[in-house]
A and B are shown apart, each in its own frame.
Chain A
Amino acid sequence: MKELAALLMRDIKLAVRAGGGALIGALFFLIVATLLPFAIGPDLALLARIGPAMLWIGALLASLLALDRLFATDYEDGSLDLIMMGRAPLEFAILAKALAHWLTTALPLVVVAPLLGLLLNMEFQSMTFVALTLLAGTPALTCIGLIGAALAVTLRRGGLLLAVLVLPLTIPVLIFGVAASNAAIAGPVPFGPPFTILCALSLASIVIGPFAAAAALRHGLE
Chain B
Amino acid sequence: MRLWAENLACVRGGREVFAGVSFALGSGEALLVTGRNGAGKSSLLRMVAGLLRRSAGSLGLDAGEADHSIAEQAHYLGHQDALKPSLSVLENLSFWGAYLGASPASGKALDAVGLRDLSGLPAAYLSAGQRRRLSIARLVAVKRPIWLLDEPTSALDSPAQSQLAELMRGHLHGGGIIVAAAHGPIGLERARELKLGAA
- Chain A residues within 8 Å of B, Cβ to Cβ: 2-3, 5-7, 10, 13-14, 17-20, 76-79, 81-88, 221-222
Residues of chain B lying within 8 A (CB to CB) of residue A88: 99
Known pairs A18-B86, A85-B49, A86-B99; list 19 more (Cβ under 8 Å).
A3-B99, A6-B95, A7-B95, A10-B84, A10-B99, A13-B91, A14-B86, A19-B86, A20-B86, A77-B81, A81-B46, A81-B76, A81-B82, A85-B76, A85-B100, A86-B72, A87-B68, A88-B99, A222-B52
- Chain B residues within 8 Å of A, Cβ to Cβ: 46, 49-53, 68, 71-72, 74, 76, 78-87, 91, 95-96, 98-101
Are A3 and B76 touching (Cβ within 8 A)? no
CB distance from A21 to the nearest CB of B (A): 11
Are B101 and A3 touching (Cβ within 8 A)? yes
Are A82 and B87 touching (Cβ within 8 A)? no
| A77-B81, A78-B79, A85-B76 given; A10·B100 CB < 8 A | no
Are A82 and B96 touching (Cβ within 8 A)? yes
| A77-B84, A81-B82, A222-B53 given; A6·B74 CB < 8 A | no
Total A-B pairs in contact (CB under 8 Å)?
A: 79
CB distance from B68 to the nearest CB of A (A): 7
Can you name the residue of chain B whose Cβ is closest to the Cβ of A96? B99
Residues of chain B lying within 8 A (CB to CB) of residue A83: 99
Whole-angstrom distance between the alpha carbons of A175 and B98 in the complex? 41
Residues of chain B lying within 8 A (CB to CB) of residue A81: 46, 49, 51, 76, 78, 80, 82
CB distance from B144 to the nearest CB of A (A): 9
In-complex Cβ contact of B87 among A14, A84, A85, A222 (8 A) = A14
Residues of chain B lying within 8 A (CB to CB) of residue A5: 98
Residues of chain A lying within 8 A (CB to CB) of residue B52: 221-222
CB distance from A127 to the nearest CB of B (A): 35
CB distance from B74 to the nearest CB of A (A): 7
In-complex Cβ contact of B98 among A3, A14, A78, A85 (8 A) = A3
Looking at chain B's contact residues, the main secondary structure is: loop
CB distance from A3 to the nearest CB of B (A): 5
Can you name the residue of chain A whose Cβ is closest to the Cβ of B72? A87
CB distance from A112 to the nearest CB of B (A): 24
| A84-B50, A85-B76 given; A7·B84 CB < 8 A | no
Whole-angstrom distance between the alpha carbons of A94 and B99 in the complex? 13
Residues of chain A lying within 8 A (CB to CB) of residue B74: 85
Are B51 and A79 touching (Cβ within 8 A)? no
Are B51 and A221 touching (Cβ within 8 A)? yes
Are B91 and A78 touching (Cβ within 8 A)? no
Residues of chain A lying within 8 A (CB to CB) of residue B51: 81, 84-85, 221
Residues of chain B lying within 8 A (CB to CB) of residue A7: 95, 99
Whole-angstrom distance between the alpha carbons of A76 and B80 in the complex? 8
Residues of chain A lying within 8 A (CB to CB) of residue B84: 10, 14, 77, 79
CB distance from A78 to the nearest CB of B (A): 3
Residues of chain B lying within 8 A (CB to CB) of residue A221: 51-52
Are A78 and B82 touching (Cβ within 8 A)? yes
Residues of chain B lying within 8 A (CB to CB) of residue A18: 86
Are A84 and B71 touching (Cβ within 8 A)? yes
Are A77 and B80 touching (Cβ within 8 A)? yes
Could you show 8 A-B contacts with beta carbons less than 8 Å apart? A17-B86, A19-B85, A81-B49, A81-B78, A84-B51, A85-B51, A86-B99, A87-B101
Closest 8 CB pairs of A and B: A78-B80, A6-B98, A78-B82, A17-B86, A79-B82, A85-B71, A10-B95, A3-B99
